[in-house]
Amino acid sequence: MIPQKTDGRWVRLINGKLSHNFKLVPAGLMLSRLRRQFSSAISPKNERECVDELYDFFQKYERILQEDIKAIFGEETRNAD
């Protein structure tokens, strides 16, 4: 289970203060694109939109992102099912 969107680590991923080398290449590409999008127009609205998109990506591909999720958010995010 991934953390809620309100978890500050989502924002830190978007703004580059939290880095991670993804095992799944498309996840790394997604984050790179969202970082560029955010840095081109830094605002609370753009931050929310980027976090929403990254969160939705993680939610959609949660099963194949398990290792990355654990590395970023810790063991407490283990899948509940």
Query: Residue 79 pLDDT > 90, yes or no?
Result: no
Q: Is 45 exposed, middle or buried (0-12, 13-18, 19+ CB in 10 A)?
A: exposed
Q: What is the pLDDT of residue 1?
A: 82
Q: Is residue 48 part of a domain?
A: yes
For 16-43, what is each residue's pLDDT tens digit?
999 999 999 999 999 999 999 999 999 9
Q: Is residue 2 part of a domain?
A: no
What's the rounded mean pLDDT across residues 71-81?
64
Q: How many structural domains comprise the chain?
A: 1
Query: Residue 76 pLDDT > 80, yes or no?
Result: no
**Residues 72, 11 contacting (CB under 8 angstroms):** no
Query: Residue 77 pLDDT > 60, yes or no?
Result: no
Q: Is residue 1 part of a domain?
A: no
C-beta atoms surrounding 70 within 10 Å: 14
Helix-then-strand count for the chain, H and E: 4, 0
Query: Residue 45 pLDDT > 80, yes or no?
Result: yes
Cα dist. 80→1, 6, 35, 63 in Å? 6, 19, 30, 11
Range of 50's domain?
Answer: 8-77
